[in-house]
Amino acid sequence: MKTYARIMKKGNKLVGFVPTMGYLHEGHLAVIRTARKQSDVVILSIFVNPIQFGPGEDFKKYPRDIRKDEELAKSCGVDILFYPDKEDMYPGGFSTYVNVEGLTDQLCGKSRPGHFRGVTTVVAKLFEIIKPDIAYFGQKDAQQALVVGKMVDDLNMDVTIKTLPTVRDDDGVAISSRNVYLSKTERKDAAVLYKSLEAAHQAVESGERNAKKLVERIRGIISTVPSAKVDYISIVDARSLKGISRIKGEALATLAVFVGKTRLIDNMILNTAVPGAIRAGQPKEVRHAAKKYGPVRSIPQ
Report the residue number, 175 or 278, with the smaller CB distance to ligand AMP.
175
Interior/surface letters 89-110, b for 16+ CB within 10 angstroms, e for the rest: bbeeeeeeebebeebbebbbbe
Q: Are 96 and 127 in contact (CB under 8 A)?
A: no
Task: Indicate the length of the chain as a whole number.
Answer: 301
Shortest distance in whole angstroms from residue 175 CB to ligand AMP: 4
Rounded Cα gap, residues 154 and 144, in angstroms = 15
Our CB check for ligand AMP shows the closer of 174 and 269 to be 174
Which positions from 188 through 247 interact with ligand AMP, judged by CB under 6 A? none
The amino acid that residue 223 corresponds to is S
Smallest gap from residue 169 Cβ to ligand AMP (A): 9
Using rule CB under 6 A, residue 254 touches ligand AMP: no
Helix axes 115-130, 142-154, angle to 10 degrees: 60
Beta carbon of residue 213, minimum distance to ligand AMP (angstroms, whole number): 28
177 binds ligand AMP (CB under 6 A): yes
Give the nearest distance from C-beta 243 to ligand AMP in angstroms. Answer: 23
Q: What 3-state DSSP class applies to 28?
A: helix
Write out the binding residues for ligand AMP, residues 103-162 only, by CB under 6 A.
137-138, 140-141
Q: Give the residue with the Cβ less far from ligand AMP, 208 or 258.
A: 258
Nearer to ligand AMP, 106 or 176 (CB): 176
Task: Tell me the helix, strand and coil percentages in the chain, rounded to 5.
Answer: 40, 20, 40
How far apart (Å, rounded) are the C-alpha atoms in residues 49 and 58?
11
| Residue among 8, 17, 20, 221 that touches ligand AMP (CB under 6 A) | 20
User: In 3D, which of 273, 261, 195, 270 has the Cα closest to residue 231?
Assistant: 261
**Contact pick of 44, 80, 107, 175 for ligand AMP (by CB under 6 A):** 175
Which residues, 6+ apart, have CB-to-CB distance to 128 below 8 Å? Answer: none
Q: CA-based Rg of the chain, rounded to a whole angstrom?
A: 19
The answer to whether 28 is a known catalytic residue is yes
Lay out the site mask for ligand AMP across 23-42 (x = CB under 6 A, - = otherwise): ----xx--x-----------
Do the beta carbons of residue 116 and residue 108 sit within 8 Å? yes
Question: Which residue is catalytic, options 25, 28, 115, 201?
Answer: 28
263 binds ligand AMP (CB under 6 A): no
Catalytic positions are 28
The residues that touch ligand AMP, with contacts defined as CB under 6 A, are 20-21, 27-28, 31, 137-138, 140-141, 164, 166-167, 174-177
